[in-house]
Structure 1
């Protein structure tokens, strides 16, 4: 099954049966999480709670709101399933909460500008990474075990997981009025970043050529493809 969503629609595509189920909402969707055969979990924009739907009822279009998780001071930005009974939520006030779905209980809450590795069972913090000046909004791990984090100011940091030290810090140096807003580590190990103004860059250990698309070119052209050379990491 493929679950796809945009601001007002969730689409379910069943590959073997080739069935397609669209579900429309009047409220804008912020993020979606799925516990297989149990729950569909949705965070709507401008709401400080999380809505949990029973999966079977949702699939049959007998949509029933079965549970609500609340208590986030800010609007929910992202959801992440830990296991069948635990959910992580992140809100725009940079608050992260770990929830136990079956009891609607918030197990722990975390908010500051550090990066932390947690033991989800005990709730203990195993390691803290200090270096961001603003709230982190996205985190990934490289194949080499490095932690990569992006904060709200567009600063991308690479961390040594053993020592907690910053190995490398990147920003969008091509345009001081633009900043990195998202990133992905590819299977090849290369880094791809996207900026607030639509700039996409590929970074590598070797000199490479990359193509990028930007919606706001200085000459006011709408769209376009250019080639640049970079030697970054």
Structure 2
């Protein structure tokens, strides 16, 4: 069973599945070019970093970085306590990952170090995206969203004012 898909160019697709593998497909011929093995749990998300590398998240609570051309696993990033829901890479050697328990991690690709963040209220982070501006937007389980920046600004919604905090600053690929 396929759990996630990621378009990888005009004629290629990556698919992550319940059998713990990732497959690289050529769409015009419907041919599987390569199979990536290494996760110990369902593959839950895939994100391309650049032309040669991509990331995968899994039910085994790890993120893996892969070489698209050789099939080699370049690194494994353990550290989440629940499965990975969303991953995204940035130009400045950072990866952001969100696990099912609402923990958001910011990873430095070069050092494999990470910084964790969980919401301090009873609301869990349910999704995130790095915007083209480099700012980060997080969505929460009770319906609100928060924009993070290195600059101070104020957001308003139906529930009141929310001040940004100095936390994430990334450059989108």
TM-score > 0.5 by shorter chain: yes
Q: How many residues align?
A: 144
One of 81, 94, 97 as aligned partner of 1:146: 94
Residue 97 of structure 1 pairs with residue 22 of structure 2: yes
- Contact 2:14–2:25 at 8 Å: present in 1 too? no
The TM-score normalised by the length of structure 2 is: 0.71
> How far apart are the structure 2 equivalents of 1:170 and 1:159?
12
- Contact 2:16–2:23 at 8 Å: present in 1 too? no
Alignment correspondent of 2:136:
191
Alignment correspondent of 2:154:
209
> How far apart are the structure 2 equivalents of 1:197 and 1:181?
9
Q: CA deviation at 1:146?
A: 0.8
Deviations 1:117-153 (A, max 9, x none): 1001111011221211111111112232211111111
Which structure would you say has the larger RCO, counting Cα contacts within 8 Å and 6 or more residues apart?
A: 2
**Paired residues for 1:113-192 under 5 Å:** 113-166=61-114, 168-173=115-120, 175-176=121-122, 178-192=123-137
Q: CA deviation at 1:163?
A: 0.8
> How far apart are the structure 2 equivalents of 1:94 and 1:228?
42
Q: CA deviation at 1:94?
A: 9.4
Deviations 1:159-197 (A, max 9, x none): 11101110x212222x32x21111111122111000122
Unaligned runs of 5+ in 2: 42-59, 168-173
Tell me the C-alpha RMSD between the 2 structures: 2.3
Unaligned runs of 5+ in 1: 1-47, 49-71, 213-223
- Contact 1:117–1:126 at 8 Å: present in 2 too? yes
- Contact 2:102–2:118 at 8 Å: present in 1 too? yes
